[in-house]
Chains A and B, each alone.
Chain A
Amino acid sequence: MTADFWPTLFVFVLASLIGLGVIRRVSRLLHTPLMSITNAISAIAVVGSIIVTGSDYPLEIRILGAVALFASMTNIVSGFLITDRMLKMFKTPGKPGAEK
């Protein structure tokens, strides 16, 4: 297990640097949608929740997993939907409503 530590840490540090680089370029206009989309993205905890819920584990463990899965799924659904809803509203003067 400790052998996995270093490659995993590499992934974390490099992903964080990519994150900092990408996020810094996000338009300030879009900081609210940015927050809701990163929220949906971090609901990738859904992967862990599915494993805990669906594996052949004791009942009480799977109940914890199912609640976590519900919470992650709520974030995925509401996060992506509301981000898209907000982004649809950002229009240039030239083409009002063109992006609808």
Chain B
Amino acid sequence: MAMTGVTQLAYLVASVLFIFALHWMNTPATARRGVGAGVAATAIAVAFTWAQPFIIHHWWIIGAIVAGFIVGVPLSLVPLTAVPQRTALSHAFGGAAAGLVGTAEFYLGFQEGPGHLTTFKMVALVLECILGYLTLTGSLLAAGKLQEVHWIPQRPVTYPGQNIVNLMLLVVAIGLAVAVILHPTAPAAPIWFAIIIGLSLLFGLLLIIPIGGADMPTVIAILNSYAGLSAVAMGFALDNRLLITAGALDGSSGLILAIIMCKAMNRSFINVLFGAFGKVQKATVGGEAKVYKSETVEGAAQVLEQANLVVIIPGYGMAVAQAQHKIRELYDQLKKRGITVKFAIHPVAGRMPGHMNVLLAEADIPYTDLVEMEEINPDMPQADVALVVGANDVVNPAARTDKTSPIFGMPIIDADKARMVFAIKRSKNPGFAGIDNELYFADRTWMLFGDAKAVVGELVKQLAPGAGMH
């Protein structure tokens, strides 16, 4: 099954194209070229792999590719609010592909007898299967949580001894892995391998069960990394450097995104994976009942009209309410009056990295008005109005002041420093992380209760020319 020089050359070209594909993602101006490079690289890899003489079952390949198109095209047309689920689902597919190929390679090598399963190859195959299968079930569960499938618990599920159970499973899996690596042709080896697969599938579920919605951006990034690393392991097993290069690019991408997400929440990897964040905070006993001040849409519109700088802070609530298009109308109305409007984007706003940017770009808001947290914060004291749309934990001042808060130390958007804050909120319940938000009770904060889309729509109506402004 040796590869010819031509195939190797094709793989080298594909590897280089993949690197350029990611390089061109550094600015929106060239990013689409990156997609072109990626498509070309994949096409080259597929064509030259397929063209090898030992590939003989062409109809099987055609059938699987056609099926991939039939499922893939609709999956690419999902609404952008469903992109986190789609991404998790595709991590599951990636994990499944790696796991299945690894499984096939092992049982094939086992049938063909000693000599085919070297220790090196076995280490690669075991890693490929563990990473692949745990990514499969972990990502499926994450996708289910994101899709809010009704029988999947949204809140993190924890039980006593959870980490001990996980650890013991891991020890069993490692023990079996060592056994199967050292004795790949033992009569019991296929059974050991099957148990490793089963444990990996279980492990993926156990890893994601205690994860809450607020941690999803980090977890999706970690799963992204695992999917890449399983492709790397496949590359080691098949001695294929294209797989290793492309898998390493994906692995490092997931890693960097996960680090950015962790920093943005002031938490460590370990803490995200084993900390079971997002439990409902115990109600503070004996504390005086805090009171929200609400404002009418008319009043808020009048204040907005007088502003010079309005900073809109979107969060997951905007995605849920699909409010981005109404926000675009509000943006237009304010811009028409010469008001500067900026969007403050927290790295973990939403359910995946970059989630808010994509939704706002969908609504035709120029990306030059989407400002990162670090850049907007120095300007917040100059903002006349901070308009919080469905964001919660990312504007909670408790992160700066309250040492007992689970989000203490997390960098936040300084909405509370604006001259006035309007917060649009669907209900009076705490946010996804289950933490009360001091911002809502601050002197300069006025609440606009209601569905984000409806409230912003009302604001637009008030501001539209011809509306009866008093």
Which residues of A does B touch, CB under 8 Å?
A: 1-2, 4-5, 8, 11-12, 15-16, 18-20, 22-58, 60-62, 64-93, 96-97, 99
10 contacts between A and B (CB under 8 A): A23-B257, A27-B28, A29-B361, A31-B257, A35-B253, A35-B353, A50-B49, A69-B97, A71-B68, A73-B69
**Cβ of A51 and Cβ of B65 under 8 Å apart?**
no
- Neighbour of A45 across the interface among B27, B97, B241, B364, CB < 8 A: B97
Q: Among the listed stretches B80-88, B156-164, B271-279, B286-294, which one makes contact with chain A, having 4 or more residues with CB under 8 Å of it?
A: B80-88
User: Which of A61, A74, A77 counts the most chain B CB atoms within 10 A?
Assistant: A74
Number of interface residues of B (CB under 8 A): 117
CB of A41 within 8 A of CB of B21, answer yes
Q: Is B45 an interface residue (CB 8 A)?
A: yes
Question: Is the CB–CB distance between A46 and B45 below 8 Å?
Answer: yes
B97 touches A26 (CB 8 A): no
User: Do B104 and A68 touch across chains, with their CB atoms under 8 A apart?
Assistant: yes
Whether A44 contacts B34 in the complex (CB less than 8 A), given A53-B60, A78-B75, comes out as: no
Contact of B242 (CB < 8 Å), options: A22, A44, A62, A91: A44
Contact between chains at A29 and B28 (CB < 8 Å)? yes
| Main SS class of interface, B | helix
Chain B residue with minimal CB distance to A1?
B118
Stretch at the interface among B168-176, B244-252, B402-410, B437-445: B244-252
Question: Does chain A have a CB within 8 A of B224?
Answer: yes
**Pair A44/B231 contact, Cβ less than 8 Å:** yes
Best-buried of B1, B21, B252, B368 by chain A (most CB within 10 Å): B252
3 closest A-B pairs by beta carbon, nearest first, are A73-B68, A77-B72, A31-B354
Which residue in chain A gives the minimum CB-CB distance to B32? A87
Query: Judging by beta carbons under 8 Å apart, are A62 and B60 in contact?
Result: yes
Contact of A74 among B25, B71, B119 (CB under 8 A): B71
Contact between chains at A29 and B221 (CB < 8 Å): no
B36 and chain A: residue at smallest CB distance: A84
Chain B residues whose C-beta falls within 8 Å of the C-beta of A37 in the assembled complex: 21-22, 25, 34-35, 38
Q: A35-B220, A41-B249 are in contact. Are A90 and B60 (CB under 8 A)?
A: no
Q: Which of B105-113, B309-317, B382-390 contacts A (4 or more CB under 8 A)?
A: B105-113
Contacts of B97 in A (CB 8 A): 43, 45-46, 48-49, 68-69, 71-72, 75
Nearest opposing residue in chain A for B72, CB measure: A77
Contacts of B46 in A (CB 8 A): 46-47, 50
B56 within 8 A of A: yes
A38: chain B residues within 8 A (beta carbon): 22, 224, 228, 249-250, 253-254
> Among residues 74 to 110 in chain B, which have CB atoms less than 8 Å away from a CB atom of chain A?
75-78, 80, 83, 86-87, 90-91, 93-94, 96-98, 100-101, 103-105, 107-108
A54 in contact with B50 (CB, 8 Å): yes
Residues from chain A with a CB closer than 8 A to the CB of B101 are 45, 48-49, 52, 64-65, 68
Q: Which among B19, B35, B224, B236 is the interface contact of A87 at CB below 8 angstroms? A: B35
